[in-house]
Amino acid sequence: MFSQAMERTVAELTAPAKGILAADESAGTIEKRFKSVDVASTEENRRSYRELLFTAPKLGDYISGVILFEETLKQKSEAGIALPQVLAAQGIVPGIKVDKGAQALANFPGDKATQGLQGLAERLAGYKELGARFAKWRAVITIGDGLPSTRAIEVNADSLARYAAICQELGIVPIVEPEVLMDGNHGIERCAGVTEEVLETVFHALHRHRVQLEYMLLKPNMVLPGKDCPQQATAEEVAAATLICFRRTVPAAVPGIHFLSGGQSDEAATANLNAMNTYAQKQPWALSFSYGRALQAPALKAWHGMAANREAAQQALLKRARLNSAARQGKYTASMEAG
């Protein structure tokens, strides 16, 4: 019933040389980020900051979609225009984060399960009326001693699949986000093994729930060593390990893989994406980005809550968006950072 609308949304989100800006920080997360630049996390400050991001001149040249938090979806610009309409005017597709966060999984210490399925269909219908054309649900998987458990992987995969099925029934494109966290001192081989198991389980669950792969997008982690691992990996090593893992697990029917940055530095997230797009063999999916902090951090530092810094903050955002656009095409070089 909604296949044509979802096909159009997917085509716009996977447009060449573009990626997705994740601006869906929860109240707690954005409070921490604002605190780092001595800005109070008030509703007006959050609105002002996000309007600053969304109105950056020609942002739509590099950004195809923006994931919003529920509060932002309902807010208006200083001129009284709904923020989803502000994005649409830039040629950017508005989306919405719909999960309710992760909680401890009973009887499985250290594992978490994402909440939010109750009432999801009704919430999605309301979000669609406000302009959201795609959604996002994040599941978090921790690597550690005895972690993750098979049960945690199965529970999160099933929730992702149920969420995706509900989205597609309403004509909303689901972004499926199974994130294997960087926390820990594990090596890249351990991350590869866990990521492969997670993706296999997720796609089996999507199949069981009759999710149409052509009308969804994947937002996964890259295959990386833990951030405390003494042996870090080069961009080329990350690209090789990631693409081996994804060729084994992600069907070619999936239109796009929009990687999350997951705690990487701005430059590392860009360099790793670039390495994947310069890899020798052609991939069946678009390899793009859906970054939050790795796109926003320079803008937030430049802004500091001051209206006078608006243009400088927008230029900082545009620079990172432009560099990730280049990486999306395999055209990024480290020398561009100084430009």
Do 12 and 221 form a contact (C-beta atoms < 8 A)? Answer: no
Mean pLDDT of all residues in 54-75: 98
pLDDT-derived band at 233, boundaries 50, 70, 90: very high
Q: What is the pLDDT of residue 280?
A: 62
Q: What is the pLDDT of residue 95?
A: 98
Is the preceding omega at residue 284 within 30 degrees of 0, hence cis? no
Catalytic residue among 18, 51, 97, 177: 177
* 135-185 per-position pLDDT tens digit: 999 999 999 999 999 999 999 999 999 999 999 999 999 999 999 999 999
- Domains of the chain listed by start with CATH number: 3-334 (3.20.20.70)
Q: Tokens representing 73?
A: 């979806």
Catalytic site includes residue 219? yes
Q: How far apart are CA 136 and CA 120, in angstroms?
A: 12
Mean pLDDT of all residues in 111-137: 98
Q: Is 329 helix (H, G, I), strand (E, B) or coil?
A: coil
Catalytic residue among 18, 97, 219, 319: 219
Catalytic site includes residue 177? yes
Average pLDDT, the chain: 97
Mean pLDDT of all residues in 237-257: 97
* 15-54 per-position pLDDT tens digit: 999 999 999 999 999 999 999 999 999 999 999 999 999 9
CA atoms within 13 A on the CB side of 193: 10
Identify which of 242, 99, 100 has the alpha carbon closest to the alpha carbon of residue 180.
Answer: 242
List, in sequence order, the alpha helices (H) in the chain: 3-13, 27-35, 43-54, 70-73, 83-89, 120-129, 150-169, 188-208, 235-249, 266-277, 293-303, 310-328
pLDDT-derived band at 339, boundaries 50, 70, 90: confident
Place of tokens 């098979």: 150
